[in-house]
Amino acid sequence: PDADLKDVLSEYVPPETFEDATLTCATLEGFCQSGICGKELCDSIPQVVNEPCGCTAPGGNPTTTAPGGGSTGGASGPTEPPTISLAPTISPAPTYKANWNPCGICGVGPTPNPLRDDVPIEIPDNLAPPQVKDGSAMCDELEEYCQGGYCPRLTCNNLYPIREICGCPNFNTPCSICGAGKELTNAGGTVTLEAALAISGFPPTITCSDLQDACSRGYCDGSRCQAFSGLVQDACGCQEAAPGLTIESSADTTLYRDGPLVDDNFGTEDTMLAQNGPVGNEEVASSFALVQFPIAENKAVIDSLKNEPTSLLCLHHVQNTEADRVVTYSVCAVTPPDLQGGIESLTGADVTYAMPADCATGDVSNFDVSPNTEQICVDVTGMVDKNQEFVTFMIDNMNESDQPGDRFYTRFDSERRFPELRMYPVFEL
């Protein structure tokens, strides 16, 4: 796009999209389908993109643009295509936006070769880009959507398994930077990679969490994995992994009990909120958080822990240095309604819970949060039924307050401060 169009679209897409001052046809189509392009722009665009984008009229005939805008199936277009230079109005409001950083099926950066256009990929609703309406997309289509910024981070993190079938070259087996049987304890530590170990698309100085993220998604070949296991031990705080299991959340959201946000959905936000404001107080509307973990897919490991394992719900707190108080929050397991979109599709109008009446096991655990609290782990032993597909926890303040509540990071946090369910064996003496 030219500068004027870039200025308008840059409000809606990540800056990286414009790094080469070009857009894929699928990305530009997404902008205009979402309502970002005004009428004048929509009338002008076909005169520029019909040929490079392979536009066709219904029935498969090539589309050309008639003088003065508009498309026909056979009329010839103007002799000189106009330049798109007007700044479009943003009306109507977009129905979806390119909210995410670009990513690719084959790894960081643009795909070196065209991906297969004859392999359909099944995509769950909670991972699907907005252009996917029927639950599947061809490899090349999904690549264009993700490169255009329409794939949530969780989708980008789960593209590795389809690399081979989509035709990616040189895909790698995921690995741990600390080495087998070890785990990093200093996620914020940094390492500087020499040129021979640098990973395409990543800076040479990188945090341990980002490096682990890259290698766990197959961006590191075998020689790099081996080298990292010796290089990062001290910087990343590598330690022998404790026996047990750590499960990252598969869904999390905020539900409002009252106020103007009760009908809104917050299933893709990077934080969730718990606060118990007075009824009718719209500035501190009452809300609670839900966080869910997959149990059935981890049952074999859970069974190997024997007896009833110790279970900890661990949350990363969004620090608030402007506050000056300690708040006690409560957590218990609840039973959510069986909906196709899961808990992330819920709104406060769909369901609400109250502790302890709606706690599945009757057990409630409390924990304190101060402004500077970074991470909390609360004992939820006895709340996890290993015969269920999921366990869903509610986080709430049982005491009404006119003060703002606290936020906790969700599975959409860009720095991977995800909620975790940690389970450890109980050793018999």
pLDDT digit string, tens, across residues 291-310:
999 998 888 888 888 778 88
Residue 416, classified by CB atoms within 10 Å of its CB into exposed (0-12), middle (13-18) or buried (19+), is middle
CA distance 143 to 114: 9
- Which range of 174-188, 317-331, 395-409 scores highest in mean pLDDT? It is 395-409
The closest of 384, 365, 386, 364 to 376, measured between CA atoms, is 365
The closest of 368, 247, 243, 240 to 313, measured between CA atoms, is 247
Band (241; pLDDT cuts 50, 70, 90): confident
Position 362 scores a pLDDT of 92
CA distance 289 to 334: 11
Position 361 scores a pLDDT of 92
pLDDT above 90 for 233: yes
* Average pLDDT for the chain: 78
Least confident residue range of 88-102, 220-234, 267-281: 88-102
Sign of CA dihedral 31, 36, 40, 43: positive
Position 170 scores a pLDDT of 60
What pTM value is reported for the model? 0.53
Position 377 scores a pLDDT of 93
Query: Could you give the angle at the alpha carbon of 159 between the alpha carbons of 158 and 161, nearest 5°?
Result: 90
Let me know: does 409 contact 418? Beta carbons within 8 Å: yes
Residue 146, classified by CB atoms within 10 Å of its CB into exposed (0-12), middle (13-18) or buried (19+), is buried
Q: What is the mean pLDDT of residues 153-175?
A: 73
CA distance 218 to 174: 5
Let me know: does 191 contact 204? Beta carbons within 8 Å: no
Q: What is the mean pLDDT of residues 239-263?
A: 88
What are the pLDDT digits (tens) for 121-153? 888 877 888 888 888 899 989 988 888 888 877
Cis peptide before 92 (omega within 30 of 0): yes
Q: CB under 8 Å to 256, separation ≥6 — which residues? A: 262, 264, 285, 286, 287, 347, 348
- Which range of 150-164, 239-253, 325-339 scores highest in mean pLDDT? It is 325-339
pLDDT above 50 for 87: no
> Which has more confidence, 73 or 231?
231
Band (65; pLDDT cuts 50, 70, 90): very low
CA distance 5 to 365: 53
CA distance 293 to 299: 12
Position 30 scores a pLDDT of 60
C-alpha 286: how far from its chain's center?
Answer: 25
Q: What percent of the chain has pLDDT over 90?
A: 27
pLDDT above 90 for 312: yes
pLDDT above 60 for 93: no
Band (201; pLDDT cuts 50, 70, 90): low
Position 147 scores a pLDDT of 83
CA distance 199 to 15: 21
pLDDT above 90 for 96: no
* Polymer length of the chain: 429
Q: What percent of the chain has pLDDT over 70?
A: 74
Cis peptide before 356 (omega within 30 of 0): yes
> Which has more confidence, 206 or 8?
206
Position 77 scores a pLDDT of 38
pLDDT above 50 for 384: yes
Q: What is the mean pLDDT of residues 269-289?
A: 91
Position 79 scores a pLDDT of 36
